[in-house]
Amino acid sequence: MSKKYIDVHTHYAFKDYEDLKKIYETENIVGLCSSTDLHSYKDLEKLKEKNINNLFFSHGLYPDVLNNKTLEECYKELDQIDFSKGIAIGEIGLDNKITKDKQKREEQKKLFEKQLEIAESKKLPVVVHSRYASKHVLETLTNFKIPTILHWFSGTDKEIDEAFSRGYFLSLNYDRTKVNITEENINQIFIETDYPIPYNNKTNILNIKEAYKIVAYKNSLNINYLQEKIQENFYRLFKIKI
């Protein structure tokens, strides 16, 4: 089994198709590409038709969609998404950075809970966004029993411990998530780029290799070992052999 670089949280678009195809054919990369709204869902459906090997999808409405839509409109959009076309539900969650308004935050929570219910009923894992909202995200998740990836989680040390103790996976983004990998938690680790977010001013699909290098170096781990462990995590969570 060749060692893979799994990017568990990306946002490719259909326009990336030619680059993606070349890179996925030659570079041992595996991706979980998430939609954030109805527009990107439709875009990714087109990308999926291209059948790029080792490129997987997850669908959902992320919290910022409520900035220019009502909750009712969002519920209607959920009806238009075929969640079974993905291997997870996401990107979903809470974002307190942009949304200060109390009522809007309540609506975010309702939209998040609605999609957690869908995940529960369809037995799909979730990819969760928690910007400036780690406490509220953990609170909301307590009511659900769903395999969970907290992407780019920026909680406190206590919240990180809590997430691990509940069995959640933490997806690390370069050196910006302050998790120390240990023998106890390495079975709950993923790595991501959150592409197209740039690293060192560069937006590059291959940044995932940089992310693995940085995480391995920071935790004094052999990169092959890290790849092997994350590959095992991917299999345990999604039951997909890559």
Report how far residue 233's alpha carbon sits from residue 121's, in angstroms, rounded to the nearest whole number. 23
User: Least distance from C-beta 35 to Zn ion, angstroms?
Assistant: 10
Among 33, 37, 106, 109, residue whose Cα is nearest residue 78: 37
Among 27, 1, 50, residue whose Cα is nearest residue 205: 27
- How many residues bind Zn ion, per CB under 5 A? 2
Residues in CB range of 237: below 8 A, 6 or more apart: 125, 147, 149, 169
State which residue, 173 or 233, has the beta carbon closest to Zn ion: 173
User: Least distance from C-beta 60 to Zn ion, angstroms?
Assistant: 11
Work out whether 37 is an interface residue with Zn ion (CB under 5 A). no
What stretch of H or E contains 164? Answer: helix 157-165
What stretch of H or E contains 209? Answer: helix 207-218
Residue span 175-214 as binding mask against Zn ion, x where in contact by CB under 5 A, dash where not? -------------------x--------------------
Report how far residue 41's alpha carbon sits from residue 20's, in angstroms, rounded to the nearest whole number. 17
Residue span 86-105 as binding mask against Zn ion, x where in contact by CB under 5 A, dash where not? -----x--------------
State which residue, 90 or 233, has the beta carbon closest to Zn ion: 90
Work out whether 7 is an interface residue with Zn ion (CB under 5 A). no
User: Least distance from C-beta 91 to Zn ion, angstroms?
Assistant: 5
User: Least distance from C-beta 68 to Zn ion, angstroms?
Assistant: 18
Task: List contacts with Zn ion (CB under 5 A).
Answer: 91, 194
